[in-house]
């Protein structure tokens, strides 16, 4: 029988890679999309167009409990991947209540819907929760692993801690097959443009082509453990294939600074970042997470998960992709006919 999966956050970076992976494995893939005045489906256009779309989209929102319950009853998924969230750490300081509602309580709403359907039908639904290394915040040990205590440093981190523990609680209380992936930062050419890596590669490419003069950043000394999103979604899938649900850290176990990311990105284009990067205090956070370094030994051993893309390859992939994008933008901006086509 063909397995059915539901992905919340299917229009996001991870949602798009996970949808591709599940389609390639023969799943019937359903995605939750929220209503917006624009399409917002750029990352999954190739999966939703044509006579036989590979991914079926449904309107819904993590803030709408009854809509989620109806959708779960309608689709009767075997696997649910909860990737939807207000996922920007800096934005969570400006929108703390909204972040709590969507990122924390939204997870509870989804779990409640699953619990009801599982109770009614007796069919087990496997659940993946997108937990985050941001939960470790002001780290109490390095590297961080599954047993490291949380010390979140942002409304986003606090919301993710709630979502994490409510998932564990539903696993223990209601026999749900619910797993949390504690993923460290993962990036790609599809990364949102306001996260630091994409902001850097996008700007470096535009500067190279003379389309931009400067790049304004905040804390260049922050250290992160960056991997490739395409590798990380494989770990999500592997977690739901295990006989028993559990929690896993997913990381590269490598530390790099934002400054180093700048150096490599500009360097790829033959530029020196010192000539273009300026510090703007607006991009500093009220409370910073200085260092995140993950120990993914459990996931590598129990899941057999192995990342394929190195840090250096990730930077090159993102810079090359953004250079292509900037070239296309420059071409399109050249003639009004091209812009007309864009509007259509
Ligand atoms: P992303 O690109 O920001 O995608 C977030 C997704 O959530 C988008 O599809 C977005 O829809 C959707 N969404 C936002 N609010 C929603 C709501 N109220 N109802 C329904 N959908 C909503 O994030 P990502 O990088 O793919 O990350 C996926 C998940 O992993 C997130 O939960 C994130 O917090 C978590 N995570 C990410 C990382 C990382 O480094 N990328 C690390 C650890 C954990 P729109 O397209 O309409 O905005
Ligand atoms: O790219 P960032 O915004 O990612 P951050 O805050 O680590 O959060 C990402 O990873 C989390 C996993 O740990 C996810 F849960 C979360 O959803 C998200 O995907 O910032 C990385 C670092 C920070 O220390 C920040 O202060 O870069 C520093 N930074 C310096 N200048 C900047 C900037 N960050 C952004 N976004 N923009 C800047 O101009």
Per-residue pLDDT of the chain (344 residues; tens, 9 = 90+): 999 999 999 999 999 999 999 999 999 999 999 999 999 999 999 999 887 889 999 999 999 999 999 999 999 999 999 999 999 999 999 999 999 999 999 999 999 999 999 999 999 999 999 999 999 999 999 999 999 999 999 999 999 999 999 999 999 999 899 999 999 999 999 999 999 999 999 999 999 999 999 999 999 999 999 999 999 999 999 999 999 999 999 999 999 999 999 999 999 999 999 999 999 999 999 999 999 999 999 999 999 999 999 999 999 999 999 999 999 999 977 544 443 333 33
Residue 42 counted as domain residue? yes
Check if 134 is active-site.
Answer: yes
Is 343 inside a domain boundary? Answer: no
Tell whether ligand 2 has an atom less than 6 A from the beta carbon of residue 89. yes
DSSP-assigned beta bridge partners for residue 126: 79, 177
Residue 93 lies in a domain: yes
Residue 323 C-alpha to ligand 1 middle, in angstroms? 25
129 located within any domain: yes
- What's the CA angle centered on 336, arms 332 and 337, to 5 degrees? 85
Number of neighbouring beta carbons within 10 Å of residue 59: 12
**E strand or H helix at 46:** helix 45-48
Ligand 2 centre and the CA of 125: distance in Å? 33
Alpha-carbon distance 267 to 229, whole Å? 23
Residue 101 belongs to a domain = yes
Check if 156 is active-site: yes
Judge whether 323 lies within some domain. no
Check pocket membership of 222 for ligand 2, CB cut-off 6 A. yes
Task: Pick the catalytic residue from 16, 87, 131, 132.
Answer: 132
Is 151 labeled as catalytic in the residue annotation? no
Number of compact structural domains in the chain: 1
Is residue 159 one of the residues assigned to a domain? yes
How far does CA 27 lie from the centroid of its chain? 21
Q: Which domain holds residue 51?
A: 4-190+227-253+287-309
pTM of the shown model: 0.96
Does some domain include residue 88?
yes
- For residue 248, report the distance from its CA to the centre of ligand 1, in Å: 19
Please report, for the domain that includes residue 12, its CATH number: 3.40.50.720
Please give the C-alpha separations between residue 58 and each of 29, 34, 49, 72, in angstroms, as whole numbers. Answer: 11, 8, 14, 11
Choose, from 20, 79, 134, 263, the residue flagged as catalytic. 134
């Amino acid at each position: 029988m063909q397995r059915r999966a539901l992905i919340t956050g299917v229009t996001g970076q991870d949602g798009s890679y996970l949808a591709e992976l599940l389609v390639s494995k023969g799943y019937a893939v359903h995605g939750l999309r929220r209503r917006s005045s624009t399409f917002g489906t750029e990352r999954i256009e190739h999966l939703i167009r044509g006579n036989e779309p590979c991914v079926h989209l449904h309107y819904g929102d993590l803030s709408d409990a009854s809509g989620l319950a109806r959708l779960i009853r309608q689709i009767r998924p075997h696997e649910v991947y909860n990737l939807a969230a207000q996922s920007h750490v800096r934005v969570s300081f400006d929108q703390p209540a909204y972040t709590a509602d969507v990122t924390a309580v939204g997870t509870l709403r989804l779990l409640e819907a699953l619990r009801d359907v599982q109770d009614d039908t007796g069919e087990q639904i496997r659940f993946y929760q997108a937990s985050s290394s941001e939960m470790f915040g002001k780290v109490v040990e390095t590297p961080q692993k599954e047993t490291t205590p949380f010390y979140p440093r942002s409304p986003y981190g606090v919301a993710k801690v709630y979502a994490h523990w409510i998932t564990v609680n539903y696993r223990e209380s209601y026999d749900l097959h619910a797993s949390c992936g504690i993923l460290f930062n993962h990036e790609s050419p599809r990364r949102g443009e306001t996260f630091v890596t994409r902001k850097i590669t996008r700007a470096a490419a535009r500067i190279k082509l003379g389309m931009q003069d400067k790049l304004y950043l905040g804390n260049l000394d922050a250290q992160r453990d960056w991997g490739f999103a395409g590798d990380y979604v494989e770990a999500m899938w592997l977690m739901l294939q295990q006989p028993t649900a559990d929690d896993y850290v997913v990381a590269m176990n490598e530390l790099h600074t934002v400054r180093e990311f700048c150096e490599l990105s500009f360097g790829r284009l033959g530029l020196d970042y010192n000539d273009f990067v300026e510090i703007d205090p607006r991009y500093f956070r009220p409370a910073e997470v200085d260092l995140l370094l993950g120990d993914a030994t459990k996931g590598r051993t129990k899941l057999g998960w192995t990342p394929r893309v190195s840090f250096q390859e990730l930077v090159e992939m993102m810079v090359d992709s953004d250079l292509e994008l900037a070239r296309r933008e420059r071409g399109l901006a050249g003639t009004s006919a091209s812009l007309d086509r864009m509007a259509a």
